[in-house]
Amino acid sequence: MTDEERQRAIDFVVAQEAKNSVQLEKLIEAHRTVENRLSLTERRMDRDEYRLDRYERIVKLMIKAGRRERTIRREQDERYHRRYQELLASQAHTDSRLDALIDIVHQRMSGA
């Protein structure tokens, strides 16, 4: 190999090394960009997970409150139903007594 051929080979190797260095720098920068995006995505996911956890707790509390309210309403409905039945029974008793009084008044008025 002559000096000129050796020099061309060295120039080629140096050019390739420079080209490889540029490509390596681009890869490193692309890797940094991806890492930054990944870090941002992880922070967003953490924030979204926190929100989902909070929303889940809120929904559970709402369900619990709804069940408690349903129980309270059912108990109130049962109490009102019992009171209504008692009122109807009392009214029936009052109606029969009133009918008896009306019969007595009619008998006295008719001269019995």
pLDDT digits (tens, 9 = 90+) for 14-60: 999 999 999 999 999 999 999 999 999 999 999 999 999 999 999 99
The single-letter DSSP state of residue 106 is H
* Domain residue limits, the chain: 1-112
Mean pLDDT of 62-67: 97
pLDDT at res. 1 = 79
> Mean pLDDT over residues 81-86, rounded?
96
pTM of the prediction? 0.50
pLDDT band per the 50, 70, 90 thresholds, residue 112: low
Buried b (16+ CB within 10 A) or exposed e, 5-31: eeeeeeeeeeeeeeeeeeeeeeeeeee
- Residues 4-14 have a mean pLDDT of 91
**Cα–Cα distance between 21 and 13 in angstroms, integer?**
12
